[in-house]
Structure 1
Amino acid sequence: MSLRAPVLLIVDYNLSRIADVRHLRDHARQQWGAQTWLVRANPQAHDQGISDRVIDADPLAADFINLALNQLGDDAARISAGIVFSDNAVASGAGLLERLGLAVDCARLALGAFDKLAYRIAENRLRPALNQLGVNLPDFAQIGCIDDVRHFAGRQERGFVIKPACEGNNRGVVMVAPGGDCEQAFAEVAPYLHGGVLAEAFISFTREYSYDGLGKLWFITEKVSATGRYPVEVAQILPARLSEQERLAIHVAGEQVNRLVGQRIGPFHNEIKLSDDGKNTAVIEPNRRPGGMKIWTLAQAVYGLDLYAAWVDSVFAGQVADELPAATCSAATVMFGVPRDVTLEVAELGDLAGLIAETLELAAETLNLARADIALLESAWVAGESRLIHATPRDNSDFVAHACVALHNPSVDIRDLVRVLREQWLQVLDRALSVELLFKVAS
């Protein structure tokens, strides 16, 4: 590749997105003849392996933009397009791209897509207008000490949620029932006080979705969460099963969120709850990035559109389709846990492909499906060092694997497939753990 090739600049990413960054790089190279440069704090060997050049700069540092520009020097003129690919960089990364004269969503409003407290404050300014559109806003308060929690609890009749302002993956999110233990809840979020903590009134709507897309292109994904104290996401389903009225309600809310956080041309993933009558919504949180849990992977299976490639094309050419093709199947990302509290290193569990294959076979048999009706899109261990993994997940670190599957038989509800896959996985893994234990004892 020419030393004067155009450059795609990717500002930061989460480690779970390594394969996605590699895909972005490959498409930029093949379609646009471009190098990919990556801005990343404390870059490691894997960062070098998925990019042509790495700029060492922390997007959360106060002097991030100047630090990145100083390292780029005169080479900054080679950068033709840029994308911001992490929550940590959503504001500072947009600011960097603006300084480089590149097309990007608004940096000034971006903080609301990173800091949940900042979003609630911005949302609250438009409370009357949003209420008229059917968007309900929860009571909220910033938390700095245990007395703040007690005072907030005193005005809540249905319980509340306490959570870090700037964390993802459900880390630190605690449900507090009416009359619940405020001290214990505060103790669980105390490690996050430096980045901000807020309490929110419990949103009683039972259904949750995400409003996902790129530019003007949008679709709605259905979220399946655990019940109880730790509302961890256990699956994402596409397409969401909604009436036209329900789709419109979520679309209206999602677009209002995008305006509040300055989204116009880039990706978005706004988490929204829907009332049982389908008329009212409430925003959980906004994000100016592709959805996690492989939502864009599901979208490619369902709609036949590679949104990562479309994202790269959009920053080089400035165009994105306005509508998706018709859905050809349903799909889901399913998170797999453990049958009992156990301390282990996931790598010790061995061949994931075999365990997944057995799980799919058992699920097909349970649901009277042909094995070919369930297509495995991808699967992976949830990496991590040896650790205690809870049978009742408290956050995403309590899952050991995930699988993305497509269902090509409309006679079965994809939600039933999700449930059965999770049940059968626990049985398959339980047998594997028992065999491993016998092997260790024997040796």
Structure 2
Amino acid sequence: MTAPILLIVDYNLSRIDEVRHLRDHARERHGATVVLIRADPTAADHAIADEVIDLDPLRDDFAEMGEKLLGDRRERIRAGIVFSDNAVRSGAELLERLGVPVDSARLAEGAFSKYHYRLDEARVAGLLAAQRVMVPDFAEIASLDQLRDFARDHPEGFVVKPAAEGNNRGVVVVRPGDDLTAAFAEVLPYLEGGVICEELIPYRREFSFDGLGPLAFLTEKISARGRYPVEIAQVLPAGVDEHERATLERAGRQANWLVGQCDGPFHNEIKLSDDGLRAAVVEPNRRPAGMKIWSLARWVYGIDLHHRWVDTAFGTAADAGRLVPGCSAATVMLGVGDDRSFCPDDVPAGADPFADAVRATAERLGLGDGELTVTEFSWVSPLRRDLHAVPRDNADFAAQGCVVLRGDRADIRTVVHALREDWSLALDRALALPTPARKAR
């Protein structure tokens, strides 16, 4: 075989449709064969790639082993994509060994380890302060006594979280008077991989600086308030003034420099002060954003960033020009109204609570036909799970849905809050309907 190879290094299973989308474009546009590297691959992995190599990117010798396993095809490997946080450093090292263009492996650790990123920030704290980018105080902890020491130094409150973990898992906000023993118990499962405490960032609004190479846009994040600051929605375009945009872009670019991003994807989470003049990076990521943000960008800006990522890897990406929004869109996380055991099979066949909720929201806001439309809906898991009415992380939701809003009769942020309320009511109505006996799962 002489077809060029696109090497995809790891991905999170929830993003399998995105890998399939990357594969299809690589085949159609570049005539490429797709090789996927992943630990403990399943039949689903073999279905989305021409070849799958079983190798864990967290292995110390990952890059060395990967080079050996791919040695006989080295000349055919023309492009590479690293598609997970776990592989951001080791995957870049492997591509460097293979002579494939990739962003810096040496600086990539900051895009995996929150602790490592704060160390990088601290080394250039003066530079960041001059750009009005706050560097939070932080400390790695391994015991309850160390957590208490940090709490003593930060009586106004702080955040305790895993040093390297996604989807808001294990993130706990500790307020004055909170039970420190209980907070430490919540991060105990992550202790082996590292746990850090961080000074509370005193800014309320949160955004992300997203994009690929020089192409960037701002996404507005809506989070729950309280002990568990989980993401409940992502909105495009972000509602910001020009000086706020400048502040966020400045902070986002500096995060990219620190973690070595140049040509590849990025998703940097940033908090913004009320006056819009100061910012703080919550965490950087050298991968596409989650929560369908790249899908939102496709609907809002008319650009397929997954296709562009493949083209960039092959060195054929054309100038994209300026991004101009044609509508607004949101990904909304959808929970349950009370603590309960839930499985999608609980919803009777034929019931469509999300469509019902979108219809109710459109009526409530006085929107006409076609102004608020459903673009995607999916259950978070097909399995039965115990869900909390107050979600503790993004796995604590029942579903997620994407909507597009056209026209100017409503604001997409108003839609998000109304839709979450209408979803709760619609789901309860659906669950109250009689349903035939189901097989135990």
Is the pair's TM-score, using the shorter chain for normalization, greater than 0.5? yes
Which residue is equivalent to 2:147?
149
Cα distance in 1 for residues equivalent to 2:249 and 2:323: 18
Cα distance in 2 for residues equivalent to 1:347 and 1:94: 41
Cα distance in 2 for residues equivalent to 1:302 and 1:431: 32
Which residue is equivalent to 2:54?
56
Counterpart of 2:94 (choices 70, 93, 96) is: 96
Tell me: CA distance 1:135–1:320, structure 2 relative to 1, closer, same or farther (3 Å): farther
Which residue is equivalent to 1:284?
282
What is the DSSP-based 3-state SS (H/G/I as helix, E as strand, rest coil) of the residue aligned with 2:428?
helix
1:214-252 CA-to-partner distances (Å, cap 9, x unmatched) read 000000000000000000000000000111000000000
Most deviating of 73-82 and 45-54: 73-82
1:369-411 CA-to-partner distances (Å, cap 9, x unmatched) read 0131012211111115222100100011111111111100212
1:12-36 CA-to-partner distances (Å, cap 9, x unmatched) read 0001110000000000011011111
Partner letter of residue 121 of structure 1? L
Q: TM-score, normalised on structure 1? A: 0.96
Tell me: CA distance 1:18–1:324, structure 2 relative to 1, closer, same or farther (3 Å): farther
Q: Count residues with an aligned counterpart.
A: 438
Which residue is equivalent to 1:173?
171
Which residue is equivalent to 2:236?
238
Cα distance in 2 for residues equivalent to 1:352 and 1:309: 35
Unaligned ranges ≥5, structure 1: none
1:430 maps to 2:428: yes
Contact 1:216 1:320 in 2 (8 A): no
Q: Which runs of 4+ in 1 moved over 6 A?
A: none
Partner letter of residue 182 of structure 1? L
Cα distance in 1 for residues equivalent to 2:166 and 2:377: 21
The residue correspondences of 1:29-428 to structure 2 (distance < 5 A) are 29-317=27-315, 319=317, 321=319, 323-350=321-348, 354-428=352-426
RMSD of aligned residue pairs (Cα, Å) = 1.5
Q: TM-score, normalised on structure 2? A: 0.97
What is the DSSP-based 3-state SS (H/G/I as helix, E as strand, rest coil) of the residue aligned with 1:289?
coil
Most deviating of 381-390 and 226-235: 381-390
Tell me: CA distance 1:80–1:346, structure 2 relative to 1, closer, same or farther (3 Å): same
Cα distance in 1 for residues equivalent to 2:60 and 2:350: 42
Report the Cα offset of residue 157 of structure 1.
3.2
What is the DSSP-based 3-state SS (H/G/I as helix, E as strand, rest coil) of the residue aligned with 1:371?
coil
Cα distance in 1 for residues equivalent to 2:388 and 2:186: 16
Unaligned ranges ≥5, structure 2: none
Most deviating of 64-73 and 337-346: 64-73
Cα distance in 2 for residues equivalent to 1:78 and 1:403: 40
Cα distance in 2 for residues equivalent to 1:185 and 1:127: 29
Cα distance in 1 for residues equivalent to 2:352 and 2:399: 13
Cα distance in 2 for residues equivalent to 1:402 and 1:142: 33
Tell me: CA distance 1:79–1:298, structure 2 relative to 1, closer, same or farther (3 Å): same
Tell me: CA distance 1:65–1:71, structure 2 relative to 1, closer, same or farther (3 Å): same
